[in-house]
Chains A and B, each alone.
Chain A
Amino acid sequence: MAIYQNLQVWLLLSALTAAPIAAQPNLDWSTVSGQVLDAHGRPVSEATISAFPLDVAISGPMPQGTISDESGRYKLSLPPFTGRTRLSAAKPRDGYPDAQGLLFATGEEKMPIIHLAPRAKLDHVDIVLGPPDGILEGRVVDKATHTPIRNARITLHRGSPESIYSASLPPEGTFVFALPRAPVELSVSAPGYTPWKYSDNKDGGRWLTLSSSDHIQVTVELSRSERDSASPSH
C-alpha cells in the first residue's frame, strides 16, 4: 500500500529530506518547510510531499522522498524553478490523493503556490488538505495461481475533466488510490495476460464512483486465457 502511495506521486517533483541536503552539491537549491494539516487543522503525518513547476518544462532529475513527520512537519529542497511551483501532500490510504493530478482533483484543493529563488528559505508553507475521499485498494494476481503478477500496469481514466493516471505496479501487485466522487474507469494489463477492465457486478457499468465514506477492496485476477474477472467487495 505504501509502495503504491509513492508510485502515485512519482509523477511529481517531490522533494529532498533535510539530511542529504548538506551532502548534495547544488548550493542553489531552495529550502521549503511547513506543516501538513487536515481540514480540521490537525497535523497529518506520513504524507508524501510533492512539488510541480507550473511555468517551466523539465527533462531530467526528479527530486523525491519527503514525508511529513509525526507532527505533520516537512522540509524539502528544490531546484530554483522559474515561476510558480505548486506544493501538495498525499496520503492515499487515508483518503488524501495527490491533487496535482487532474484525475484526483475535486476543485476544492488549496495547494500552496510558491516562487523559488536560488538559496531561498521559505518557512511556514502549510499544506491544508481537503476532506478525505473514498479509497480504492487492491492487488493484481494470477487467476490460476493467485500469486501476485509482476510487471502489471494500472490505468485510471476520468471523463470529466478528461484526465488519466497510469503506473507500473510494484512486484507485490498492490495499489491504493484516494478517488474523488467522480466516475472513473479502471483497467489493468500485464504482458502475457488478458487485459482487465472494471465492470460493476450489478449493472455491468464500466464506471466506478466512490463516495467519501467508501473503502473498496478489489482483487484483480488476470488470466492467461480469454477470461478475466474481478471480485470487488465493500
Chain B
Amino acid sequence: MDSTHNSLISVTNAGKKPTDAVLTFHYNHGQNQYEIRRTIAAGDQLWLNMGDLVRNQLPDVKGRTLPADLTSGTYEIREPGRNNDPSVFEGKIIVDKAYGHLAYGCTTCCADGYPGIQADPDILEWNASDDLYVIAVNSCTGYNDDLTGQFSGWGTDNSSVATMNSNQVTGVGPGTAHALSSGSFNYNNGVSKYCQIRAANPSNVTDVQVPDHIEVLTDVFQTINCGSNPSTQFRTITYRLDDASGNIIRFPVKIRENVPTNLTTSCNGSTVLTGATCYLNTTAVPYTVGEFADGLSPGCPNSPSNSPCGFTFNNQQWQYCPIVGQPTSIGTIGRDVVQNTLISVDGNTIGFPVGTKFPK
C-alpha cells in the first residue's frame, strides 16, 4: 500500500454452513500482528480494505491498530476447528490507478508441527520421577498442543540411568539417557493446505544427578556487634554441591548436618540451632540450587565477663538426604570450635580457599 495503491482482501465461504474465519496480518518483519475474526455465512464474502484499516486506525480483536505509515506485510487466513476441510478461499486485489489485479490464494489446515518431548525439570534427581509430555506447535494458534495421549512405546536407551512407566521417567543412576516414544499426529508444516497423519519418534535427553561431594564456594567471617557485651564471631561457609563428575547439582536437594542435637553454648546457655533435620537447600537460599551455606556462631555473650565462650563438636559432617534411603555423607568437615573470639573449622581459622574439598 502506498499513496497510489491499495489492497483489498476478500474471504469467501464456499461451504454450505457459516464458518469462522481468522485473518492475521503480519508486519514489521513478522514482529507484529493484526488479527480480524469474522463469521461468514455460507456463500457469503468478507471484504477487507487494508487502506481503510490503516487510515482509520481501526482496532483489531485485541485492540491493536496498524501503523499509519504501514505499506506492506503478509497475511494468512485460517478456519479454527476446520483442519482438513477448509471452506473459505481468499483473493486479493491491488488497486492501481491504471491496473487492477486479482489473485486467489488458499487457507492452511490447523494441525501441528513436528513434536518433541518436553520435560520440566530437564534434569532428575536420583530416584525422582517426572512426567514427560509430547508437545507440538499448532500451526494456527502458535501455541503448544499436548499430544501425549497419542503417543506410546515409552522407554529409554539406558535403563541403568533412567526407566519409564508410560510417560513417567524415573532416575535410577547417574548419567545421561534418552527418553523415547512413538506415535502419530496430524501434521502441517504451516504452509500446506492439507494436513496429513504422520508417524513420529520424539526423544529427549534425561540427565540424572546424584549429589556426591561438596567443595568450598565462599568462606566469610567477621566480628559481630553485641552491644555492651563482648563481641562474637560469625562465620559462613558456602559449599557447592557436586556430583561424582564434579558437575554442580542442578536441582534442589535435601541435606542435613550430622551433629549432636543437644549442644549448648556457654555464651548464653542456648541450645545450638543445627541443621540436623533434612531440609531443602533452597529453603534457606531461594532461587539458588547447587549450594548451601553453613552458618556458625556461638551467639552473643550474656555478660561482660563471659568471654571466651562458645561450643565445640568433634566431627561435623554434611549428608545428602535422598528421596529413598538413608542420608549419605557428602563431606566430613572435622572438628568445629565455635567461640566468640575465634571460629575454627577443622583447624582452619583464616578461611578456606575456594575449591577446598573434604573427604566423605
Q: Footprint of B on A, CB under 8 Å?
A: 7-8, 10-13, 16-17, 19-20, 23-26, 52-65, 79, 81-83, 99-103, 105, 109, 150-151, 153, 161-168, 191
Contact B275 A167 (CB under 8 A): no
Contacts of B268 on A, CB cut-off 8 Å?
55-57, 83
Given A60-B275, A105-B225, A166-B222, the answer on whether A26 and B283 have CB atoms closer than 8 Å is yes
**In the bound complex, do residue B222 and residue A101 qualify as a contact, i.e. CB atoms below 8 Å apart?**
yes
Contact A59 B218 (CB under 8 A): no
Q: Across the interface, do B284 and A57 meet the contact criterion of CB distance under 8 Å?
A: no
Docked-complex contact A60 and B294, CB < 8 angstroms:
yes
Task: Given A10-B238, A62-B236, A99-B225, decide whether A57 and B298 contact each other with a Cβ distance below 8 A.
Answer: yes
Q: Are B280 and A24 in contact (CB under 8 A)?
A: yes
Additional A-B contact list (8), CB under 8 Å, known A61-B283, A83-B268, A100-B224: A8-B220, A13-B295, A58-B296, A59-B273, A62-B284, A102-B223, A164-B222, A166-B222
In the complex, what residues of A have CB within 8 A of residue B222's CB? 11, 101-103, 163-166
Q: Which residues of the other chain, A, contact B271 by a CB distance below 8 angstroms?
A: 56-57
Alpha-carbon distance between A102 and B227 when the two chains are bound, in angstroms: 9
Contact A167 B218 (CB under 8 A): yes
B287, A164: Cβ atoms closer than 8 Å: no
Question: Shortest beta-carbon distance, B244 to chain A, in Å?
Answer: 23
CB distance A168 to B299 under 8 Å? Answer: no
- Minimal beta-carbon separation of B258 from chain A (angstroms): 11
Q: Are A102 and B231 in contact (CB under 8 A)?
A: yes
Shortest CB-to-CB span from B68 to chain A, Å, is 35
A-B contacts, 24 listed (Cβ < 8 Å): A10-B218, A10-B220, A53-B273, A53-B297, A54-B226, A54-B299, A55-B299, A55-B302, A56-B271, A57-B310, A58-B295, A58-B297, A59-B275, A60-B295, A61-B292, A62-B293, A63-B285, A65-B286, A101-B224, A102-B224, A151-B353, A163-B223, A166-B221, A191-B353
Please report which residues of chain B, range 60-113, place their CB below 8 angstroms from some CB of chain A when the two chains form the complex. none
The chain A residue with its CB closest to the CB of B299 is A57
In the complex, A79 Cα to B225 Cα: how many Å? Answer: 21
B336 adjacent to A83 (CB under 8 Å):
no
If the complex has contacts A57-B298, A64-B284, A163-B222, are A52 and B234 also in contact, measured as CB distance less than 8 A?
yes
Which among B257, B280, B299, B313 is the interface contact of A25 at CB below 8 angstroms?
B280
The CA of A58 and the CA of B287, in the complex, are separated in Å by 23
**A16 near B351 (CB under 8 angstroms)?**
no
Residue B354 lies at the interface, judged by CB distance under 8 Å to chain A: yes
B273 near A11: Cβ-Cβ < 8 Å: no
User: CA separation between A162 and B226, bound complex, in Å?
Assistant: 13
Q: Is B235 close to A, CB under 8 A?
A: yes
CA distance A57 to B274 in the complex (A): 9
- A151: chain B residues at CB < 8 Å are 353-355
Tell me the smallest distance from the CB of B339 to a CB of chain A, in Å. 10
Cβ–Cβ contact B293 & A61, under 8 A: yes
Residue from B226, B280, B295 in contact with A62 in the complex, judged by beta carbons closer than 8 Å: B295
Q: How many residues of B contact A (CB 8 A)?
A: 60
**Residues in chain B near residue A63, CB distance under 8 A:** 283-285
B336 to chain A, nearest CB (A): 7
Would you give the 0/1 interface string for B262-304, flagging 1 where the beta carbon is closer than 8 Å to chain A? 0111011011111110011111111110001111111110100
Compute how far the CA of A79 lies from the CA of B270 in the bound complex, rounded to whole angstroms. Answer: 15
Is there an interface contact between B286 and A55, defined as CB atoms closer than 8 Å?
Answer: no
Could you tell me if B287 and A20 are in contact, using CB atoms closer than 8 angstroms? Answer: yes
Option from A62, A103, A109 in Cβ contact (under 8 Å) with B294 = A62
Chain B contacts for A59, CB-based, 8 A: 257, 259, 263, 272-275, 294-296, 313, 316, 336, 338
Give bound CA distance, A123 to B220, whole Å: 31
- Chain B 314-332, CB-CB to A under 8 Å as 1, else 0, gives 0010000000000000000
Q: What distance in Å separates the Cβ of B345 from its nearest Cβ neighbour in chain A?
A: 10
Cβ of A133 to closest chain B Cβ, rounded Å? 15
B311 at the interface (CB under 8 A from A): yes
Assuming the contacts A81-B273, A168-B218, A168-B351, asked whether A101 and B293 have C-beta atoms less than 8 A apart, the reply is: no
Q: Is B350 part of the contact surface with A, judged by Cβ < 8 Å?
A: yes
Q: Considering the complex, give the chain A residue whose CB is closest to the CB of B296.
A: A59
Which residue of the partner chain, among A65, A102, A109, A166, contacts B220 with CB atoms under 8 Å?
Answer: A166
B20 at the interface (CB under 8 A from A): no
CB <8 Å contact, B351 and A166: yes
**Shortest beta-carbon distance, A182 to chain B, in Å?**
13
Which chain A positions have C-beta within 8 A of B259? 59-60
Contact A25/B294 with A101-B222, A162-B223, A166-B350 known, Cβ cut-off 8 Å = no
Contact pattern, B 9-45, Cβ under 8 Å of A = 1, otherwise 0: 0000000000000000000000000000000000000
Given contacts A25-B283, A151-B354, whether A58 and B272 have CB atoms under 8 Å apart is yes
Contact A16-B225, Cβ < 8 Å, known A52-B234, A57-B270:
no
- Inter-chain contacts of A150 with B (CB < 8 A): 354
Task: Collect the chain B residues with CB atoms within 8 Å of residue A163's CB.
Answer: 222-223, 231
Q: Kindly state whether residue B219 has any CB partner on chain A within 8 Å.
A: yes
Residues in B with CB closer than 8 Å to A164 are 221-223
Choose one: A57, A83, A105; the contact of B311 (CB below 8 Å).
A57
